[in-house]
Amino acid sequence: MSVTPRRDVYANLLRDTRGLRREQARSRDGWYEALPWDRKEASLFELEMLLKGFACFGNARNHPGPPSTETPIGHDFHAELLMARDALAQAIVRVRELLGEREKAYVFSRYLESVVPADALRSRLVKEQLNQDTPDESLFVLRNTFGSFLEMADGMLRLGRVSHRHYFALLGTVTREISRNTYFNPLVALEFRPELDRIRHAEVLEALHGAHDAAHRSVALTYLTLFRALRYLDLVDEYASAPASMGRSYLILAVLRSDLRALTRFLGAGAGASMADGFERLLLKVPAAAVGEMENALAADAGRLVSLRSTLEGLANVLRVEVRQVLERELPRARDAADDPELGTRLVLATAALRGTLHHALRQLTMELRPSDATPLLASPGDAERMASERLRRDIWMFAQILRAFLAKARAAPSEGDRWSASGSFHFVKEFLDHFRAIGYQLVRASDYTRMSDFLAALDGLRDVDLLEPRRLEAAVAECEAFRTFLETLFREVGQRKELRASPFARHAAADTLRIYLGAA
């Protein structure tokens, strides 16, 4: 018996995140259905992600490449503006496609502006150009303003050096114009559209429909964001195939980084609270007389939610670390990208690494929701097995290093009774528990560890450890020693799998990932 009611899993997110009024949503849906060509979804998706890219690329934290120590005042933004200018031109191309024959109205309007002599008539013409009662009129506004922005960008690029004030003034103006657009404003964080974000994997849809109602929003938001991110990577691959379009890849990667940062923040802080609130609402609906009868079902549901929360927090950690590693270590800064002859190859390799991370996150979440079913096939079977084994081997090595450090600190901890009360002496215990929740928990569950119950019980004892009773720490140390020995054996066994026999362990890359994790934790 379960307290989970039936409902549509993610329709609300697809319907409500853009914030259109009901009549506006119907108008946009009707406009989209009437578009006559087959690639309309790809054109609309590219346009909206470029629009979002202007806002995200305006934040230097989203830029690919190593973090810069240079101040904005001393930086020449010529390279960044060149990328933004290319994106403006491409956005205009997509707007013209979506306008179709109505593009002729834009040309005629510009002609009228040049020949109408009376100021009153010119003012009325400008006012008519700003109407946004239909999607076509919103596209017309974008076509009009983006043409002006493109001319401004061309003029700024002819100046030679582009100051931070000029660069951010232009991108800020572009962003504000997009934010005022009625039908094409994708600037809301983690927003989705029915015509662009329908999930088409049967296994994932089944997992969604099987999720507990208290976790409904968290699970749907995670799935939709991960699948949206995969589409970003496809778009980057398309841009990377031609030298003329490589620069605009940086705007799409900025969108990806911004969206995944928003997701990891939600999973790390908001998902647990959201699930707790949802479960509390379900509990309050249970009649008092039925509580005893439903005790086992309620306890089982609570246990599944706790496990799901741990999985979501683990995925947030993986995404946060690996996206940062790929974007900062594998790609050049914008100012160096134009002179990099291998930029296209580096972009493709970066998207392949990120795609593997996203596939891993999707598989882990689906396995958590439906552990008895097959995982969704998101890559070829051989590639999926190899990537999963490589990731498992790296995670085993990383957590073994964390275990080794914890054990060394635990052995050096003060043992006299009057010194145990110094909470600072045991800050490393809290740090280790955080690391375990981020990395170790999934390893324990996935590795069929025979002492899992004893190991988890010992760590649970540390969560509210009495600093005057070191016996709990001693018990945890003993279990951690046993688990470290198990991990060493497991590391060797995973390395002997057929898909890894020809792939030596990349210790330096794993150490680099561990440094990023520890620095960002």
Distance CA 175, CA 485 (A): 54
Rounded to 10 deg, the angle between the 103-115 and 78-99 helix axes is: 110
| Calpha distance 363→346 (Å, rounded) | 26
Contact 328, 68 (CB under 8 A): no
| 395 contacts 440 by C-beta, under 8 angstroms | no
Neighbours of 132 (CB within 10 A): 18
Q: Among candidates 78, 156, 160, which has minimal Cα distance to 335?
A: 78
Report the pLDDT value the prediction gives residue 194, as an integer from 0 to 100. 84
Residues of the chain with pLDDT under 70: 1-10, 16-18, 104-130, 373-384, 413-426, 464-469, 520-521
pLDDT score recorded for residue 298:
87
> Which amino acid, 322?
E
Q: What is the pLDDT of residue 475?
A: 85
Q: What is the pLDDT of residue 184?
A: 92
Give the pLDDT score at 126: 55
CA-CA distance, 95 to 141, in Å (whole number)?
A: 10
Amino acid at 163: S
Q: Give the DSSP letter of residue 373.
A: S
Alpha-carbon distance of 233 to 248, in angstroms, equals 13
Report the C-alpha gap between 493 and 399 in whole angstroms.
16
Question: Domain boundaries in the chain?
Answer: 20-187, 202-379, 386-520
* pLDDT per position as a tens digit, 187-245: 887 888 888 888 888 888 888 888 888 888 889 899 999 999 999 999 999 999 999 99
Tokens of 157: 């690029």
pLDDT tens digits along 272-297: 888 888 888 888 888 888 888 888 88
- Report the pLDDT value the prediction gives residue 384, as an integer from 0 to 100: 65
Global pTM value: 0.83
Contact (CB, 8 A) for 100 and 65? no
Q: Give the tens place of pLDDT for each residue, 463-504.
A: 765 444 677 888 888 989 999 999 999 999 888 888 888 888
